Homo-oligomer: A and B are copies of this chain.
């Protein structure tokens, strides 16, 4: 940690800072320049996370610059290899490119079964579908709730697909746990820390979506919440961030995929549907996800987007999804990966 003093900081202030640093069990290395003094602090007390805000508040301190990454368990500093998430026959994070597909919301038996059969036939391994929907408007469709979970489970029975579905409140964890294979935490809940802590104590993988205005570091800190509670199976999902651009629904941060893989050992997938919000952009962006080394996709597919209760404009028709899978297939060959 480096502490930069204001220009003109007094000797007394500098000494006070040094004393505070030593009080945390760190060693002190002041460097006196002509215009200002900076102080290096070396150590790793259990108060490592508290020392920064404390030092920022000490008189005469201009800024405090942490050197170590704040994410310990999900970062590369301690674990060198890759985390793979095993799901009875399915491995996420290795040489399999896992495609999760299905409608935004589970709407009816026919809709979810039709979709499940089509996406399975095209090569998807996991069925997505929301039973609890976080909607911007209280007047929008909020999901079929437990009925939706049951339909997902039935579709799993019939197709052998795994299922992933969103969890929006701690109160439903046990219920959703009875049905799902993978929990999903949506962008709006990426910093719902009460929810993350509880999901750190379940024994199923978690698909964690990046918040639409979250930095990569915050994203990894949210994964750290889960892993620090005992659940190592976190799958990161880049799904676009909010920017000034309004032509697309979000701005898909494609470089986040290799960046996250440099910073962390967790698998990373891409959501091209929310990432763009436009059906016509989903297929090219999916190929880009293969190109940057993603471990999979989560794609919205609906047999009749015009009838969808939500996210119709970004949902692919099953035929469009078939074409997407063929397109990425050739790239996966180049990469030596398989569906």
Contact = CB atoms under 8 A, between A and B. Distances in A.
Interface of A: 2, 4, 7, 20, 29, 31-36, 38, 40, 42-44, 48-50, 53-54, 56-59, 65, 67-68, 70, 77, 134-141, 168-171, 188-189, 191-195, 197, 211-213, 215-218, 221, 224-225, 228-229, 241-248, 251-259, 262, 275-276, 278, 280-281, 284-285, 287-293, 305-313, 315, 330-331, 334
Given A243-B241, A291-B287, A140 B255 contact: no
Nearest to A315: B57
A316 to B, nearest CB: 11
A247 B215 contact: yes
Contacts of A4: 67
Nearest to A31: B40
Nearest to A275: B255
Contact of A211 (B43, B48, B213): B213
Nearest to A334: B330
A171 B197 CA distance: 13
User: What does DSSP make chain A's interface, helix, strand, loop or mixed?
Assistant: mixed
Contacts of A44: 34-35
Nearest to A132: B194
21 contacts: A29-B40, A35-B68, A38-B67, A53-B312, A54-B308, A134-B194, A136-B191, A136-B218, A138-B224, A138-B228, A213-B244, A243-B244, A244-B244, A246-B246, A248-B253, A248-B255, A248-B256, A258-B281, A285-B292, A288-B292, A331-B334
Given A34-B44, A36-B68, 14 more contacts: A29-B31, A31-B42, A58-B306, A169-B169, A169-B170, A169-B192, A169-B194, A170-B171, A212-B213, A213-B244, A241-B243, A254-B288, A287-B291, A288-B289
A242 B213 contact: yes
A212 B213 CA distance: 7
A11 B306 CA distance: 18
A65 B192 contact: no
A2 B243 CA distance: 26
Contacts of A290: 291
Given A192-B189, A248-B259, A54 B312 contact: yes
Contacts of A253: 243, 245, 248, 251-252
A280 B262 contact: yes
Contacts of A189: 192
Nearest 5 A-B pairs (CB), nearest first? A213-B213, A57-B312, A169-B194, A287-B291, A288-B288
